[in-house]
Amino acid sequence: MRTQVGIVGAGPAGLLLSHLLHLQGIESIVVESRSREYVEKRLRAGILEHGTVEVLREAGLADRLNREGLPHEGISLRFDEEDHRIPITELTGRMVTVYGQHEVVKDIIAVRLAADGQLEFEVTDTKLHDLTTDRPRITYTNAEGRAEEIECDVVAGCDGFHGVSRQSIPANHLNIYDHVYESAWLGILAQTPPSHEELIYTHHDRGFALHSMRSPERTRLYVEVDRTEKLENWSDRRIWDELHTRLALKEGFDLNEGPILDRGITQNRSFVAEPMRYGRLFLAGDSAHIVPPTGAKGLNLAVADVRILARALDAFFSLKKSELMDTYSQDCLKRVWRAEHFSWFMTSMLFSFRGADPFQKELQKAQLRYTATSEAAAKSLAENYAGMPFEWSD
């Protein structure tokens, strides 16, 4: 097979890229190791930055997002059993939208298939070849067990942290920055209405807790657990008890309980691989960088990368200009490092790492009090949380 852009991975990065390229008249084929059903159900991010929503709207992908997304104008920081609201919209003029990542994925798949887009699910043994030539190739085995080859002009590595794309770059061509935290996230989706109209980011001596939501009927909740914790050690009762304890307020807080529909543990990691390009291979999203979920930035960074990549490829294919491809990595990395810092900052302020010494604990409290009482500190948090405007990093 022959196409212009071979895309590895049908997560938000790969799917959005294939759609943006289609709008620009550029052909692509997406290969994905999981089934369509699996990627459409995989529960992950839930917060879309202001700019992410704009990108989806401009690309004609927001019909359902406009109807079902929940716009949020503030978040709560909860510590010492008190709430401190950060009025994101009042401070920045921007807002965030609660809309599940798998809903974004579902919406883009539907639009791509309606346009006869080529998406190959359940492929195995994906391999990249000839990346430093102008005819790179992707080989794989398709769902029927047949060996396939895609010859293309450019390969987009959108296959997440554990994918094959980054691993296809010789180690001496990459600078790796990697930081693993002591704690992880245990997340649940519960069939119960949210207990508060906004997200609550809680710092507690027993660990971080987050109250989020997916819809007026479904609540998403997280608790900080040890990095080596096993899901089987957490009964439903233990999860709810821990959430009640950490989310408690002096004046009382009613946390709604309900059947747990989904649960999982996610590691906290900060990771950047630079540059995000090797020859004709361009990395986008989690394949190039990971942030701890605390800042709600991963999906939004993937969208920002792809927006830049789509423009660079447009200039390349329609005008034969490669300048934007040459600056792709540095253009993305400005925003990536800002989000890396913000995600580390939120995690450092809110988590209760095992082994943290009394000095570190007092610093955390000082930062929480400062953020809750200083407009300048709150504004900085709000600006990063709503997402830096694209013009800031363009």
Q: Which residues are part of the catalytic machinery?
A: 72, 201, 293, 297, 385
Listing DSSP states for 54-88 in one string gives HHHHHTT--HHHHHH-EEE--EEEEETTEEEEE-H
Do 392 and 342 form a contact (C-beta atoms < 8 A)?
no
| Cα distance between residue 310 and residue 321, in whole Å | 13
- Please enumerate in sequence order all residues whose Cβ is within 8 A of that of 358, keeping only pairs 6 or more positions apart, or say none: none
Specify whether the backbone of 323 is left (phi greater than 0), alpha (psi in -120 to 50) or beta. alpha
Q: Which of 18, 92, 126, 347 binds ligand FAD (CB under 6 A)?
A: 126
- Edge-to-edge strand ranges of the sheet holding 70-72: 47-48, 96-98, 70-72
What's the closest the beta carbon of residue 286 comes to ligand FAD, in angstroms? 4
| Cα distance between residue 51 and residue 266, in whole Å | 26
Per rule CB under 6 A, is residue 26 in the interface with ligand DHB? no
What's the closest the beta carbon of residue 240 comes to ligand DHB, in angstroms? 18
What's the closest the beta carbon of residue 89 comes to ligand DHB, in angstroms? 17
Of residues 152-171, those binding ligand FAD (CB under 6 A):
158-160, 163-164
Q: Which of 7, 13, 77, 350 binds ligand FAD (CB under 6 A)?
A: 13
Per rule CB under 6 A, is residue 296 in the interface with ligand DHB? yes
Do 147 and 141 form a contact (C-beta atoms < 8 A)?
yes
297 binds, among ligand FAD, ligand DHB, none (CB under 5 to 8 A by kind): ligand FAD
Here's the x/- map for ligand DHB, 41-70, by CB under 6 A: it reads as: ----xxx-----------------------
Here's the x/- map for ligand FAD, 49-88, by CB under 6 A: it reads as: ----------------------------------------
What's the closest the beta carbon of residue 105 comes to ligand FAD, in angstroms? 8
Nearest residue (CB) to ligand FAD, 44 versus 106: 44
Do 265 and 188 form a contact (C-beta atoms < 8 A)?
no
Q: Which two tokens stand for residue 383?
A: 């600006």
Where on the chain is the footprint of ligand DHB (CB under 6 A)? 45-47, 199, 210, 212, 220, 293-294, 296
